[in-house]
Structure 1
Amino acid sequence: MNMKEKNRFDCVVVGIGAVGTEMVRLLRKRNFPMASLTILARSERVQEIDGVKYQVRAASPDAFKGMDFAFFAGTEGAKGASQTLGWEAVKRGCIVIDNGDDFRMDPRVPLVIPEINADALKNHQGFISNPNCSTIIALMAVAPLHRVARLKRLVAATYQAVSGTGSQAMRELEQQARQWVAGEPATREVYPHQMAFNLFPHIGSVKDASGETTEEAKMRRETHKILGDPSIKVISTCVRVPVFNGHSEALFAEFERPITPDEARAILSRSPGVRVVDDGAAGVPGRSAADPGGRGDGAARGAGGGAGKLHGGVARAVPGGGRGAAGAAGAAVVRAVRAVGTGGAGGGGGDVPGSAGCNCAGDPDGGLGRGGGAGGARGAGGAGEVEGGGGGVELERASAGGGAGQ
């Protein structure tokens, strides 16, 4: 049977760390039309998620037989699951949605943000890549303006939560915070230095004389591929910050032609997955003592933009990303829906045929990023500085967050 003719899909999640766990949650809670769900990891075990026990199977090429979708959420690199098993899954009929970096720049693999370049799905070869967290946040805010005025230069400063490193880093941050309060030395296993109450002025390593870190290089290369324009100048400074979930960015964008504040606000207001926040004084939503990490109902939530400026051909905005691991997981689910629901054409809600109850299509009214709870962090507080009013950008989609290894 052609996959587009199916009403229910056999799914497999590969890797059960922070991102993999959130993928399982979202597939269940957002009513993705699954016939079955299989979890694969390096070793067999029983894994409990939200009170439900799952039998985790050992990953192997034959485990993908009969599966429709394979969501890869594990380790990047030569020993990572997508490197060793990704194309094996494709050979066995799966559509692979990979959260890692390994194949993002592969010419065979579309690198997709559904609201921006869903057309890239039309000719996929069974393998779809999820962009880096920092790239998604920036382009959700900038791409709508690029379409009408062409982006010439993007200068970004990112403030990325430890969820981008993974669940072990989140546990280490909590442990270090408790140790600091108790006057004890910090345990350091994930990061080379203490993360609690600290900042790391780099994410990844420096590979060449340019001084650009691997995270900053990802942002540059992925922007070029997604927007289809390698002439755009992209300069970024990526900083790791001691918070559990939620990324933020300060963006300075230069365009070929002037954009007025009202024009930019109108464009962004009607852009899927984006919400303009004019009240810079709204500040940051509070976190309750029972929910310090902003977990809420476990569903992917949105994010917020702080104050921004627009004048001439230059725009400044402060978009924020959704919860890290959930953001990456939500992005993968959106890509799965688009891959079959619209035949890769994008646009609209993209619901899979026969799945009217699926609340994961990724349009602004579709549900991802609209889970309960307080919502994402609203970026920098303070008064709005857009000439003529406020001008922050709030990203509603779950894909605005980071994922393991990002």
Structure 2
Amino acid sequence: HKGIIANPNCSTIQLVVALYPLHRVNPIKRIIAATYQAVSGTGSAAVEELTEQAKQVLEGQTTVPHVYPHQIAFNILPEIDVFLDNDYTKEEWKLVEETRKIMHADDIAISATCVRVPVFIGHSEALHVEFSQPMSPDEARRILAQAPAVKILDDPAISLYPQPWSAAGTDEVFVGRIHRDASHPCGLAMWVVADNLRKGAALNTVQIAEEMIKRDWIHPGR
């Protein structure tokens, strides 16, 4: 709609920030995504519930879930938002539709599984990507090293890779574990992590406003 700019879902933002620079060089044909999403994506009540449940479990007490359908402490839940008629959750289907829309590529085949994990801040994603032509991990690293808002952490020899605890409080999208997908000659796999409260929400909103000012679409102070 004219005059309305939609801020994408947090899990979509970090996926697109990591993949779009590669897509511009070598068009993507298929994406298989598994997301591991922090409880802060649900809100402060979920953060409090994880904190309280962790204490209860460690003290041998019984937990009673309120925010989620099951205990979240020391557990993972393959359910974020409601289930749809196609058996995907709403969160998973948003990722599919938003990714296609933002990347201007309705023909990309995408499947996602979104999982809630007992982490306070920081969404993580395991991505398996099929390109139109083969792309080496080194080429992907070179492209991403020049991409805005992306930081590569990728040295398996010293166990260097993105983690939610170190991404918390930062503005970048961190990418690591870039390697060939053994199941497809044109495939790459990677691990993508970002602070869902900053890049996944607040920072992205601010950056949208800054871009609108730059394009002279809005005039602060008038």
Q: Could you tell me the TM-score, scaled by structure 2's length?
A: 0.87
SS, match of residue 238 in structure 1: strand
Q: CA deviation at 1:284?
A: 6.4
1:123-146 Cα distance to aligned partner (Å, 9 max, x none)? xx3321110111111111111111
In the alignment, structure 1 residue 251 sits paired with structure 2 residue 127: yes
Q: Which has the higher contact order (CA 8 A, sep 6+)?
A: 2
* Residues 207 and 285 (structure 1), Cα distance of their counterparts in 2 relative to 1, 3 Å cut: closer
What are the residue-to-residue correspondences of 1:45-84 with 2, within 5 Å?
none
Partner amino acid for 2:126? Answer: A
SS, match of residue 305 in structure 1: strand
Q: Report runs of 4+ in structure 1 exceeding 6 Å deviation.
A: 284-287
Does the aligned pair in 1 maintain the 2:121–2:164 contact within 8 Å? Answer: no
In the alignment, structure 1 residue 282 sits paired with structure 2 residue 160: yes
SS, match of residue 172 in structure 1: helix
**1:263 is matched with which residue?**
139
Partner amino acid for 1:257? Answer: Q
Does the aligned pair in 2 maintain the 1:175–1:187 contact within 8 Å? Answer: no
SS, match of residue 332 in structure 1: helix
Partner amino acid for 1:326? Answer: R
* Residues 148 and 166 (structure 1), Cα distance of their counterparts in 2 relative to 1, 3 Å cut: same
In the alignment, structure 1 residue 272 sits paired with structure 2 residue 148: yes
Does the aligned pair in 1 maintain the 2:83–2:89 contact within 8 Å? Answer: yes
Q: CA deviation at 1:313?
A: 2.0
Distance 1:264 1:164 in 2: 29
Q: CA deviation at 1:253?
A: 0.5
Residue identity over aligned pairs, in percent, reads: 42
Does the aligned pair in 2 maintain the 1:130–1:331 contact within 8 Å? Answer: yes
1:303-337 Cα distance to aligned partner (Å, 9 max, x none)? 53331213642111101111x22331111111111
In the alignment, structure 1 residue 310 sits paired with structure 2 residue 180: yes
Q: CA RMSD in A?
A: 2.4
Distance 1:134 1:254 in 2: 19
**1:141 is matched with which residue?**
18
**2:192 is matched with which residue?**
319
SS, match of residue 193 in structure 2: coil
In the alignment, structure 1 residue 335 sits paired with structure 2 residue 212: no
* Residues 286 and 128 (structure 1), Cα distance of their counterparts in 2 relative to 1, 3 Å cut: closer
In the alignment, structure 1 residue 214 sits paired with structure 2 residue 90: yes
In the alignment, structure 1 residue 194 sits paired with structure 2 residue 67: no
Q: 1:203 aligns with which of 58, 80, 90?
A: 80
* Residues 314 and 286 (structure 1), Cα distance of their counterparts in 2 relative to 1, 3 Å cut: closer
Distance 1:240 1:153 in 2: 24
In the alignment, structure 1 residue 152 sits paired with structure 2 residue 22: no
Partner amino acid for 2:153? Answer: V
* Residues 217 and 257 (structure 1), Cα distance of their counterparts in 2 relative to 1, 3 Å cut: same
What are the residue-to-residue correspondences of 1:37-186 with 2, within 5 Å?
108=1, 125-186=2-63
Q: CA deviation at 1:185?
A: 1.7
* Residues 268 and 301 (structure 1), Cα distance of their counterparts in 2 relative to 1, 3 Å cut: closer
Q: CA deviation at 1:285?
A: 6.8
Distance 2:72 2:213 in 1: 41
- How many equivalent residue pairs? 213
Bigger Cα Rg: 1
Q: Could you tell me the TM-score, scaled by structure 1's length?
A: 0.49
Q: CA deviation at 1:340?
A: 0.7
Distance 2:148 2:187 in 1: 22
Partner amino acid for 2:61? Answer: E
Distance 1:164 1:342 in 2: 31
Q: CA deviation at 1:273?
A: 0.9
**1:95 is matched with which residue?**
none
SS, match of residue 319 in structure 1: strand
Does the aligned pair in 2 maintain the 1:172–1:187 contact within 8 Å? Answer: no
